[in-house]
Structure formats: C-alpha cells, structure tokens
Amino acid sequence: MGQEKNPRRVEENQAFAKGRMMRVSPQKLNLVAQLIRGLPVEKALAELEFSRKRIAKDVKKVLESAIANAENNHDLDIDSLVVERAFVGKNLVMKRWRARARGRVGRIQKPFSEITIIVKEVEEAA
C-alpha cells in the first residue's frame, strides 16, 4: 500500500536545494552564484559569509540546506563536498505603477528569482 518512492533527480553522489521567491533580480543573484561555483563547501560558505551583497545571506541558507540534505538524506561526507552547479532562474515579477507628468504612468517592475545549488561528493586525490 502507500506511495512508491520518487526517483532521484540527481546522481547518487549529489544532493541539491532550491531557494524560491528571492526578492532580487536574476542578474544580481547570478553574480553571487558565480562566487561559489566549483568551490569546496567550506570555502563557499566563507565566501558568502563575508560577501557585501545583501542576497548572499539567503544564498548561504540554501547552500547550508544542500549540505544538510547531502548529510542526512543521502549519507554523503560533508568534508568532501564541492559546489558542482549553482544556477539561477526567473520567478514572478510584481508590477507597480508610479504617477508621472501629464497623467501618464511609469511602470516599476520588482523581479523575484530562484536559485538551485547542487553539491557533489568528490574523492580526495592522494
């Protein structure tokens, strides 16, 4: 009885986490994602901790969630994790209006975005 187990969306030595509805444009979020691509997770966490970008705190939470998923759900060694991929996507855009001269209106767009971080367990080279 009951439901069947969902198939894994990533490989056996990988884990991922998503952050949705982040109130920043995808272009700005991608600048922060570039900082951590390919880094070991300890260095990536340090990079995000001392980054001056506002959204770096939220990206750090998503990275910590991916690390926790790797450890608790997939039994991966957290000391040998590397950020394999970090990619950004668009989400909804809030549309707002601002009054302008001569009865016209100026359109203000407030974009949201999402980030997916995939961590991978790699073997240490001897």
pLDDT digits (tens, 9 = 90+) for 37-58: 999 999 999 999 999 999 999 9
Listed in sequence order, the residues at least 6 apart from 23 whose beta carbon sits closer than 8 Å to its beta carbon are: 110, 112
Four-residue CA torsion sign, 18, 63, 89, 93: positive
Statement: residue 1 has pLDDT above 80: no
Give DSSP secondary structure letters for 80-114: GEEEEEEEEEEEEEEEEEEE-GGG-EEEEEEEEEE
pLDDT band with cut points at 50, 70 and 90 for residue 2: confident
pTM of the model: 0.91
> Could you tell me the CA-to-CA distances from 48 to 39, 42, 93 in Å, in that order?
12, 10, 26
Class of the 14-121 domain?
A: alpha beta
Mean pLDDT of the chain: 95
pLDDT band with cut points at 50, 70 and 90 for residue 75: very high
Q: What pLDDT score does 15 carry?
A: 96
Q: What is the pLDDT of residues 106-124, one digit of tens each?
A: 999 999 999 999 999 998 7
Q: Please report how many Cα atoms fall inside a 13 Å half-sphere around the Cα of residue 126, on the Cβ side.
A: 0
Q: What pLDDT score does 125 carry?
A: 55
Of 4-8, 88-92, 98-102, the poorest mean pLDDT is in: 4-8
Percent of the chain residues past pLDDT 70, beyond the cut: 98
